[in-house]
Amino acid sequence: MEQTIANRLKELGIQLPQASEPAARYANCVEVNGLLFVSGKGPSGKPKGKIGQTYSTAEGYEFARLAGIEILAVLAEALGSLDRVKRVVKLQGFVNAVPEFEEHHKVLNGCSDLMLDVFGEKGIHARSVFGAVSVREQLPIIIDSIFQIEE
């Protein structure tokens, strides 16, 4: 039996939520020339606070993983099937952190590890991560992403 991404999610114990709606006047995602650009997503439950003050690096990792699950929900809604993902191209994280925080990369690993767990080799991606003075709704992290998709 061929391994599908839906089966892989089940093995990982992940049930995708309904895709969250955009927070303002923009699209959840936009497809251009075989690439799907997903707007910035934060963790479900809308936790508020700064990494390095309100939350630890380990908690930030979990928030990044939850943001990744939100990204997967948007992909599933837009594509009909996550099997249409050919490659995770890039993740870009914005960590709402105190100025002295230095473990942004460890926080974003929560989403990176999720993409590798779900997509295997197709989940290997480029990425960048930044500390942010503030983000919308005081979320601890927001992640935007780019995927190559089957047309």
Per-residue pLDDT tens for 17-58?
A: 999 888 889 999 999 999 999 999 999 999 999 999 999 999
Cβ-proximal residues to 97 (8 Å cutoff; 6+ apart), any chain: 50, 51, 52, 53, 104, 107, 131, 132
Per-residue pLDDT of 94-148, as tens digits, reads 999 999 999 999 999 999 999 999 999 999 999 999 999 999 999 999 999 999 9
- pTM, entire model: 0.96
Cα 140 to Cα 107: distance, rounded to the nearest angstrom: 10
Report the SS3 class of residue 22.
coil
What is the model's pLDDT at position 75?
97
Cβ-proximal residues to 128 (8 Å cutoff; 6+ apart), any chain: 90, 92, 93
Predicted confidence band of residue 1 (pLDDT cuts 50, 70, 90): very low
Cα 31 to Cα 81: distance, rounded to the nearest angstrom: 15
Q: How many CA atoms lie within 13 A of 84 on its CB side?
A: 15
Whether domain 5-149 has CATH 3.40.50.1580: no
What is the model's pLDDT at position 2?
59
